[in-house]
Amino acid sequence: MIRLSSLALLTLLPLVHLEAQAASPLTLELVIRVSTCRGKPVRDAAWVKAHVDGANKVFAPHGIHLSYTREIFKPPRCNLITRQHRHELATHVKPGAVTVLIMERIQDLDTPSYNLMGVHWRYRGQVPGLMGRRWVFMTSRARPPVLAHELCHYLGLRHDPAGGNLMTPGPSDPIWKRGPRPKPYKSVLNASQARKIRARIRRIIAARPAATTEKLTNPK
């Protein structure tokens, strides 16, 4: 029989706790709303599924899984050029839900010649009932794992100036002009980033009303 000293037990307890955390997967439920332009959705169900699958590949090693429902909506405009254009979409965001809006085109506010693939957005308009709403935009030109990157912004991560991971700044970020340049992008999260987003997901799950805690079924 192997006997462990009290000191050895105290040393092992944090490791056991970390293993227990890794063994308990977290499910983040999304509401993905696809805009219609010229009478049809800007992207189909297969495109949405491919992006969710791509994000799940990034999150899976950290015990995080995305579940989603897909909806169609008609936006006030197809191309978002100004800050106000983005704010107009706040009425299409479901309160309390992690909402992703798929748009045809979103122009970068600082670099007009560049069209975004995605952006995390907060409503900062003048309508009191909409204050505090935030969501993720993705555009029809987005490629996986843009969804994972923008969801990490939603979950509290900033760009990593050092680069070399999922949160490497995009080409429109001023850091590319200032230098030193970040390491090349990789679709991975480091341990610190994973801990932060897992903690935020736990808070989202804890705040979710009991009526909405049932697992959403992915559309076929």
Cα–Cα distance for residue pair 168/149, rounded to 1 Å: 9
Q: What is the pLDDT of residue 6?
A: 44
- Residues whose CB is less than 8 angstroms from the CB of residue 38 and which lie 6 or more positions away in sequence, other chains included: 78
Q: What is the pLDDT of residue 1?
A: 41
CATH topology assigned to domain 26-148+193-212 = Collagenase (Catalytic Domain) (3.40.390)
Cα–Cα distance for residue pair 127/92, rounded to 1 Å: 14
Whole-model pTM: value is 0.83
Q: What is the pLDDT of residue 24?
A: 84
| Under 8 Å between Cβ of 93 and 132 | no
Q: What is the pLDDT of residue 28?
A: 98
What Rg value do the Cα atoms of the chain yield, rounded? 20
> pLDDT tens, 176-193?
778 788 999 999 999 999
Amino acid at 203: R
- Residues whose CB is less than 8 angstroms from the CB of residue 141 and which lie 6 or more positions away in sequence, other chains included: 105, 115, 117
Q: What is the pLDDT of residue 51?
A: 98
In the predicted model, residues of the chain with pLDDT beneath 70 are 1-23, 210-220
Q: What is the pLDDT of residue 111?
A: 87
